[in-house]
A and B are shown apart, each in its own frame.
Chain A
């Protein structure tokens, strides 16, 4: 009897535990101000803005359907990127499992936080049409990107990928692409291989190009398929310019190459100068530091959701910063008392 009672208690306990384990919403991002968060229930729920103090749903961040959009994006994962001042949320849908042309497409929307007279928070779309489409149309007008004579059945497909928010939240940096797909031929009739940069200026409510972006967008390397990082990285932008702080971006490749050479020089001098008994210890320390530097650089690029050339540039930036610190450490060691 006691055994049966024990079985019953265990079963009830497990049933209640199973109920608690039911899949709930995933927290996608938390506003830097801490006021709200964006949650999502997989696989097809819309992202929801929830109040941080009480978890109440404030808004749904639904990306509007495009007239030209085709295919099923219900399995896409929404990725929200909240501005530093927490007033803007850029959401892009990513679906790497979709067949072309949807695999290229990155439907996106930008939402602005507003407050009504009674203090209630709302989120509204910053553009009436789909954000990725509006961004492409702006760039097409500025840079003459699209082919004018598309076949009648061609469908234009757009992508707008997040790159960065400026520190003052005034500019959202995007990488924008567009291609045209023929459903009858099941092929691209206008290549969707390239992307271009543009900003959305949250103060003027318009897309724009600065000299930094226009230079990168019009460089021949932008359309190169070379795997040579040094060449391809000439046309990469990773940092959004704040208002009043516009200017060219320094090359991460050059910065890293310079400091990497300095590191090798200092390290060689240290190994030559140090007591032989300490050499192995320094070598082991340097190996461990290299593993740590490269790992931290990959993590930094992942935390910014970078891919392709932007990821390569951010990894080099991070490596350059760590290497500069390491050079300073080794120089101190070289001039210090530890060396004979």
Chain B
């Protein structure tokens, strides 16, 4: 009997897996189908214009010199894209000030994460935290930074003054924390920033008790909270978008996620702007009652 149940369990698990794969396949198909439909519609609309605009010899000239026209075109496209993203951000009822991107997949894709970071900045989010439980992004901090800068140029056009990235990383440069600016800030987190930072704060408080600077009774939630903010005025993340099949926070900042909304997306690979916008829209529809 036990063996039969075991068999049935395996079967059930396989069914659920198949179901998941099928749904994610359907999503991708649906999206590409929608894109193609859009492309065709655009082509159909533009075709008469193209025919009227470049008859005969003109078209040949265009073919000879494609690069000349390419630059202003892409420049135009990036700026229109940028204004669309910004207006998307404004159209949402509420936007998180601080968003966490939690990657639970084993092999991270830097380009996709950089895309996500740039989109988050473009819609107007001030703080973006990137986390994975192996600490891979932390270890390859500079590679991620490079990738973000590249994607920034690609997606937004070069506009360094407005979107320059400021990296906050505990180990590397402490003094940078005092830089206060309205620029978007990217923070790369690893498990050490979670429980370990709480332990460090606890140790610090216990040391001051050891040195008779304060009594154990004085320790309060606010005191610990201030220590854990490390004098930066970064708010707790209001939203964490989790990528990948694992339904867990995997050690993401336990102290700071008290009121954080968790929204899952199946994978960060080939993630699209629409996926992120969908998550932001879901967040914008949530309302919190704060114990009430």
* A and B part of one assembly: no
Binding site for A on B (CB under 8 A): none
